[in-house]
Structure 1
């Protein structure tokens, strides 16, 4: 059966047509698949499971129905929704996976990541990531009132957009040496990730052997899905 991979949907109330596209994708194509993997940034922002809204409710309902139909959903946190917790995962019937999980896809060991940790040239982002992924930072943030958390998320999005426009594209892309080191560390030759919003299938050479890095596209204007079936992979636009 086909295995499906998506990432960087960035769902929120400002783009209801993309939420509808995803819900329809889950209801129609994903319901016929063997599994659905979401590799981070399912939501534009996530400030805690206690701050669920209509968009999050729609997604949870769709994914729970997918699980009930016999198709599992696996989720890896992204840089926008790294605070998504067990409570929401239970509602959506998603299985949480660590960032950097090796899974068996049709007999091949494949590494799945969100992809932000590969962007090692982006020092300011990596510094913030290291801080915000500590248990102490997350406990303190989640203890703040919802209004403060929403304001923080809005400010962080605005600053991220300004920063991305101000730096060279190469800074926010993956580092080739980091990719090679990560493949070696996990003992794999195929990597699937998102984050960079640069969909492509890259053929690599790793220690004299062929390797592949597949980058998933974002869902800002339309969908992007990777389909794996019978040893073949297809990365295509949706909607």
Structure 2
């Protein structure tokens, strides 16, 4: 059996190819897994658990189908879906994780996270992250009508895209010292995260200990999955097509 990891799908009503690939993955691969971990940015932007649109209901239904089948699903919030809350978890059966969570992968400890907090040189983003994750602000936003929330979200998305264009790739990547600090704090030699959209497996040494950092890929041009079992692990792609991927 295999544990599966995905992140950075950025699902929306405007991404039919990605949505179709995600649905096929959930029904043919995740359904047979030991567990599924979603490490943030499942959505291009989750406007709130009160979203009753057809798109939101379809995504909720996919997770409910999976968890009802007995496959546990764990969800780490990203910078696009930080408003996913307890209602979503109750409706879908997924378990919400904290910013950093240590898990057991067939006898090996690993820390899993979205990855945005590792980008310590992107101080502008980290300031934004701290602001929008304030409980009181989320409490207020979640009680606004959809007609008010929608234009606010569109403005945030536009500003984020504009800010990203002006930043160097180095600033938007992880800081190695922060990676090492997090791994040492949690006493693990394996880290799994997304966010940077740079799928790869990095091996390095700290205090004569070999450590591995696995970066999940985005789903912009193809599906990206980390398959992890007791004997091996690999980053795998799932191509988009007119038929289910």
Q: In 2, are the aligned partners of 1:19 and 1:55 still within 8 Å (CA)?
A: no
| CA deviation after TM superposition for structure 1 residue 128, in Å | 0.8
Q: Partner of 1:78 in structure 2?
A: 78
Q: Residue 137 of structure 2 aligns to a residue in which SS? A: helix
**Runs of 5+ unmatched residues, structure 2:** 240-245
Please give the per-residue CA displacement for 1:46-76, whole angstroms capped at 9, x wherever unaligned: 1211123222211211111111222111101
TM-score normalised according to structure 2 size: 0.95
| CA deviation after TM superposition for structure 1 residue 160, in Å | 1.2
Q: Partner of 2:218 in structure 1?
A: 218
Q: Partner of 2:149 in structure 1?
A: 149
4+ residue runs over 2 A deviation: none
Task: Supply the distance in 2 between the matched residues of 1:126 and 1:165 (Cα, whole angstroms).
Answer: 17
| CA deviation after TM superposition for structure 1 residue 227, in Å | 0.2
Single out whichever of 73-82 and 149-158 deviates more from structure 2: 149-158
Q: Partner of 1:48 in structure 2?
A: 48
Number of residue-to-residue matches in the alignment: 239
1:125 aligns with 2:105: no
Q: Partner of 1:189 in structure 2?
A: 189
Task: Supply the distance in 2 between the matched residues of 1:175 and 1:52 (Cα, whole angstroms).
Answer: 38
Please give the per-residue CA displacement for 1:117-142, whole angstroms capped at 9, x wherever unaligned: 00000011000111111111111222
| CA deviation after TM superposition for structure 1 residue 226, in Å | 0.1
Please give the per-residue CA displacement for 1:167-213, whole angstroms capped at 9, x wherever unaligned: 11000110011101111111111000001111111111121110000
Q: Partner of 2:114 in structure 1?
A: 114
Q: For residues 1-239 of structure 1, what are the structure 2 equivalents within 5 Å?
A: 1-239=1-239
Task: Supply the distance in 2 between the matched residues of 1:195 and 1:226 (Cα, whole angstroms).
Answer: 14
Task: Supply the distance in 1 between the matched residues of 2:214 and 2:52 (Cα, whole angstroms).
Answer: 31
TM-score normalised according to structure 1 size: 0.97
Task: Supply the distance in 2 between the matched residues of 1:88 and 1:16 (Cα, whole angstroms).
Answer: 22
Q: In 1, are the aligned partners of 2:105 and 2:230 still within 8 Å (CA)?
A: no
Q: In 2, are the aligned partners of 1:59 and 1:92 still within 8 Å (CA)?
A: no
Task: Supply the distance in 1 between the matched residues of 2:69 and 2:84 (Cα, whole angstroms).
Answer: 24
**Runs of 5+ unmatched residues, structure 1:** none
Q: In 2, are the aligned partners of 1:47 and 1:149 still within 8 Å (CA)?
A: yes
